[in-house]
Protein backbone atom coordinates (compact mmCIF):
# COMPACT_ATOMS: atom_id res chain seq x y z
CA UNK A 1 0.00 0.00 0.00
CA UNK A 2 1.42 3.38 -0.95
CA UNK A 3 1.98 5.79 1.97
CA UNK A 4 -0.75 8.19 0.81
CA UNK A 5 -3.26 5.33 0.66
CA UNK A 6 -2.33 4.22 4.18
CA UNK A 7 -2.72 7.83 5.36
CA UNK A 8 -6.21 7.95 3.84
CA UNK A 9 -7.06 4.72 5.62
CA UNK A 10 -5.89 6.09 8.96
CA UNK A 11 -8.05 9.18 8.41
CA UNK A 12 -11.22 7.05 8.29
CA UNK A 13 -11.35 6.62 12.05
CA UNK A 14 -9.19 3.56 12.42
CA UNK A 15 -9.42 1.06 15.21
CA UNK A 16 -5.79 0.21 15.74
CA UNK A 17 -5.21 -3.36 16.88
CA UNK A 18 -1.86 -4.04 18.49
CA UNK A 19 -1.57 -7.79 18.31
CA UNK A 20 -0.15 -9.72 21.20
CA UNK A 21 2.25 -12.54 20.43
CA UNK A 22 0.84 -15.88 21.61
CA UNK A 23 3.29 -18.21 23.30
CA UNK A 24 3.06 -21.87 24.20
CA UNK A 25 3.85 -23.09 27.71
CA UNK A 26 7.40 -23.93 26.62
CA UNK A 27 7.85 -20.28 25.48
CA UNK A 28 7.81 -21.13 21.76
CA UNK A 29 5.63 -18.86 19.65
CA UNK A 30 2.24 -20.33 18.82
CA UNK A 31 2.08 -19.44 15.14
CA UNK A 32 -1.18 -21.32 14.64
CA UNK A 33 -2.84 -19.25 17.39
CA UNK A 34 -1.40 -16.08 15.81
CA UNK A 35 -2.87 -17.05 12.45
CA UNK A 36 -6.26 -17.85 14.03
CA UNK A 37 -6.26 -14.55 15.95
CA UNK A 38 -5.42 -12.62 12.78
CA UNK A 39 -8.19 -14.32 10.82
CA UNK A 40 -10.65 -13.61 13.67
CA UNK A 41 -9.72 -9.91 13.57
CA UNK A 42 -10.00 -9.82 9.78
CA UNK A 43 -13.53 -11.21 10.08
CA UNK A 44 -14.40 -8.43 12.56
CA UNK A 45 -13.30 -5.68 10.16
CA UNK A 46 -16.94 -5.21 9.17
CA UNK A 47 -17.49 -3.39 12.46
CA UNK A 48 -15.26 -0.57 11.27
CA UNK A 49 -11.81 0.08 9.85
CA UNK A 50 -8.84 -1.45 11.63
CA UNK A 51 -5.12 -1.80 11.20
CA UNK A 52 -3.16 -4.77 12.57
CA UNK A 53 0.15 -4.03 14.27
CA UNK A 54 2.02 -7.20 15.19
CA UNK A 55 5.44 -7.26 16.88
CA UNK A 56 5.14 -3.90 18.52
CA UNK A 57 6.11 -3.12 22.10
CA UNK A 58 3.11 -4.92 23.57
CA UNK A 59 3.60 -7.71 21.02
CA UNK A 60 6.80 -8.56 22.92
CA UNK A 61 9.10 -7.50 20.08
CA UNK A 62 11.90 -7.13 22.60
CA UNK A 63 11.70 -10.85 23.51
CA UNK A 64 11.90 -12.21 19.95
CA UNK A 65 14.76 -13.41 17.81
CA UNK A 66 15.11 -11.90 14.35
CA UNK A 67 13.77 -15.10 12.78
CA UNK A 68 10.74 -15.13 15.10
CA UNK A 69 10.08 -11.47 14.29
CA UNK A 70 10.17 -12.23 10.56
CA UNK A 71 7.93 -15.28 10.84
CA UNK A 72 5.36 -13.35 12.88
CA UNK A 73 5.25 -10.53 10.32
CA UNK A 74 4.85 -12.98 7.43
CA UNK A 75 2.21 -15.01 9.30
CA UNK A 76 0.07 -11.94 9.96
CA UNK A 77 0.49 -10.51 6.45
CA UNK A 78 -0.43 -13.86 4.90
CA UNK A 79 -3.42 -14.41 7.21
CA UNK A 80 -4.76 -10.87 6.66
CA UNK A 81 -4.49 -11.55 2.92
CA UNK A 82 -4.78 -7.88 1.93
CA UNK A 83 -8.21 -7.50 3.56
CA UNK A 84 -6.98 -5.04 6.19
CA UNK A 85 -3.72 -3.13 6.48
CA UNK A 86 -0.85 -4.70 8.40
CA UNK A 87 1.66 -2.26 9.91
CA UNK A 88 4.18 -4.26 11.96
CA UNK A 89 6.52 -2.76 14.49
CA UNK A 90 9.93 -2.44 12.82
CA UNK A 91 11.73 -0.55 15.56
CA UNK A 92 15.26 -1.05 16.68
CA UNK A 93 17.76 0.98 18.63
CA UNK A 94 19.74 1.59 15.45
CA UNK A 95 18.73 2.91 12.05
CA UNK A 96 20.41 0.15 10.02
CA UNK A 97 18.42 -2.68 11.64
CA UNK A 98 15.19 -0.63 11.58
CA UNK A 99 15.71 -0.22 7.81
CA UNK A 100 16.38 -3.95 7.36
CA UNK A 101 13.18 -4.79 9.24
CA UNK A 102 11.21 -2.19 7.30
CA UNK A 103 12.46 -3.59 3.98
CA UNK A 104 11.56 -7.12 5.05
CA UNK A 105 8.06 -5.99 6.03
CA UNK A 106 7.66 -4.32 2.63
CA UNK A 107 8.99 -7.40 0.81
CA UNK A 108 6.46 -9.75 2.44
CA UNK A 109 3.54 -7.41 1.71
CA UNK A 110 3.05 -5.25 4.81
CA UNK A 111 1.25 -1.97 4.17
CA UNK A 112 3.51 0.12 6.36
CA UNK A 113 5.71 -0.06 9.44
CA UNK A 114 5.44 1.48 12.87
CA UNK A 115 8.76 2.67 14.26
CA UNK A 116 9.27 3.81 17.84
CA UNK A 117 11.88 6.49 18.32
CA UNK A 118 15.44 5.14 18.60
CA UNK A 119 16.20 3.98 22.09
CA UNK A 120 19.28 3.17 24.17
CA UNK A 121 21.46 5.83 22.45
CA UNK A 122 19.20 8.86 22.54
CA UNK A 123 19.81 11.11 19.51
CA UNK A 124 19.59 14.88 19.29
CA UNK A 125 16.81 16.35 17.12
CA UNK A 126 18.80 16.13 13.87
CA UNK A 127 19.71 12.50 14.55
CA UNK A 128 16.08 11.71 15.26
CA UNK A 129 15.01 13.36 12.02
CA UNK A 130 17.70 11.50 10.04
CA UNK A 131 16.68 8.15 11.60
CA UNK A 132 13.16 8.46 10.23
CA UNK A 133 14.19 10.10 6.96
CA UNK A 134 16.56 7.24 6.14
CA UNK A 135 13.81 4.71 6.87
CA UNK A 136 11.31 6.64 4.72
CA UNK A 137 13.83 6.90 1.88
CA UNK A 138 14.52 3.14 2.01
CA UNK A 139 10.98 1.84 1.47
CA UNK A 140 7.90 2.65 -0.58
CA UNK A 141 5.32 1.76 2.11
CA UNK A 142 4.14 4.04 4.90
CA UNK A 143 6.11 4.79 8.04
CA UNK A 144 4.20 5.52 11.24
CA UNK A 145 6.40 7.24 13.83
CA UNK A 146 5.51 5.94 17.28
CA UNK A 147 6.20 8.78 19.66
CA UNK A 148 6.51 6.82 22.90
CA UNK A 149 8.85 8.64 25.29
CA UNK A 150 8.26 6.09 28.06
CA UNK A 151 10.06 3.49 25.96
CA UNK A 152 12.55 5.59 24.00
CA UNK A 153 13.35 8.26 26.62
CA UNK A 154 13.01 10.90 23.91
CA UNK A 155 10.06 12.91 22.61
CA UNK A 156 9.63 13.81 18.95
CA UNK A 157 8.58 17.43 18.92
CA UNK A 158 5.94 18.45 16.36
CA UNK A 159 8.35 20.57 14.28
CA UNK A 160 10.56 17.52 13.63
CA UNK A 161 7.60 15.44 12.50
CA UNK A 162 6.39 18.33 10.31
CA UNK A 163 9.80 18.61 8.63
CA UNK A 164 9.87 14.86 8.06
CA UNK A 165 6.41 14.89 6.47
CA UNK A 166 7.23 17.88 4.27
CA UNK A 167 10.53 16.38 3.09
CA UNK A 168 8.93 12.98 2.46
CA UNK A 169 6.10 14.53 0.43
CA UNK A 170 8.61 16.38 -1.74
CA UNK A 171 10.25 13.13 -2.87
CA UNK A 172 6.95 11.77 -4.26
> Is residue 171's pLDDT more than 70?
no
Q: How confident is the model at residue 170 (pLDDT cuts 50, 70, 90)?
A: low
Burial of 99 (0-12, 13-18, 19+ CB in 10 A): buried
| pTM greater than 0.85 | yes
| Span 108-117, pLDDT tens digits | 999 999 998 8
CA angle (20 as vertex; 18, 25 as ends), nearest 5? 180
**CB contact set of 96 (below 8 Å; sequence gap of 6+):** none
Q: What does the mean pLDDT of the chain come to? A: 89
Residue 67 and residue 42: Cα distance in Å, rounded? 25
CA–CA distance, 155 with 163 (Å, rounded to integer): 15
* Predicted confidence (pLDDT) per residue in 92-106, tens digit: 888 999 999 999 999
20-69 pLDDT tens trace: 999 999 999 999 999 999 999 998 876 668 899 999 877 788 889 999 99
Q: What are the residues whose beta carbons fall under 8 Å from the beta carbon of 167, sequence distance 6 or more?
A: 133
pLDDT of residue 4: 84
What's the average model confidence in pLDDT over 119-129?
A: 84
Give the fold, CATH level 3, of 3-171: TIM Barrel (3.20.20)
- In this prediction, residue 77 carries a pLDDT of 98
Measured CA to CA, the distance from residue 56 to residue 152 in angstroms comes to 13
- CA 43 vs. chain centroid, Å, equals 21
Q: How confident is the model at residue 154, as a pLDDT?
A: 81
Helices (H) and strands (E) in the chain, counts: 7, 4
Amino acid sequence: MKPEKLKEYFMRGVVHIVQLTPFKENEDIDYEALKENTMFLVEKRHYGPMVLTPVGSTGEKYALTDEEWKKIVKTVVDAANGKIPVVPGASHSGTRVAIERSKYAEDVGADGVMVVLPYYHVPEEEGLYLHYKKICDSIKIGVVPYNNPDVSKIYMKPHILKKLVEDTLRRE
